Structure 1
């Protein structure tokens, strides 16, 4: 089964929110931005972990989900590759 829309969305939001948080920190450092993006990043990170646990039985894939900022992208890529390899095997 390919990665769900929930996992794909969280995998994009997670690194984007980190990039925006660090950009804010390096430039204007507005507390309101950090107040908004901090919890957004945390939620995306937890959604990546929870969804990966639900969708993949592979231990390495589950461990990849624990990597902050890039874990979701790596997990999505690995689940998609596993799905494609299963589809190539004739029944």
Structure 2
């Protein structure tokens, strides 16, 4: 698996888990969901940051990766527009 493919998967997982956590918070607020999905979201977030650092040296692209939830998607968009994805 290439780093770009891994970034796509991590970005999707980060966004999906954030949506699930926020939905849980806004509705039933079950601690079991938070304790199960929270670490997955955190790992996906860190993977996005690490993979971005491996793929691109520009500081502004690395800063995009730090945006919670959509950072990975913003990085993928930036890489695609630059012709690197």
- After TM superposition, the score normalised by the length of structure 2 is 0.90
CA deviations 1:6-26 (Å, max 9, x no partner) are 100011111111111011111
CA deviations 1:10-52 (Å, max 9, x no partner) are 1111111111101111111111110111001100000000000
* Corresponding residue of 2:26: 26
Contact between 2:3 and 2:51, CA under 8 Å: does it hold in 1? Answer: no
Distance 1:81 1:18 in 2: 25
Runs of 4+ in 1 over 2 A off after TM superposition: none
* Corresponding residue of 2:49: 49
Unaligned runs of 5+ in 2: none
Highest CA radius of gyration, 1 or 2?
1
Q: CA RMSD in A?
A: 1.5
- Equivalent residues in 2 for 1:72-87, closer than 5 Å: 72-83=72-83
- Residues paired across the two proteins, number: 83
* Corresponding residue of 1:14: 14
* Corresponding residue of 2:40: 40
- Secondary structure of 1:51's counterpart equals helix
Distance 1:14 1:43 in 2: 8
- After TM superposition, the score normalised by the length of structure 1 is 0.84
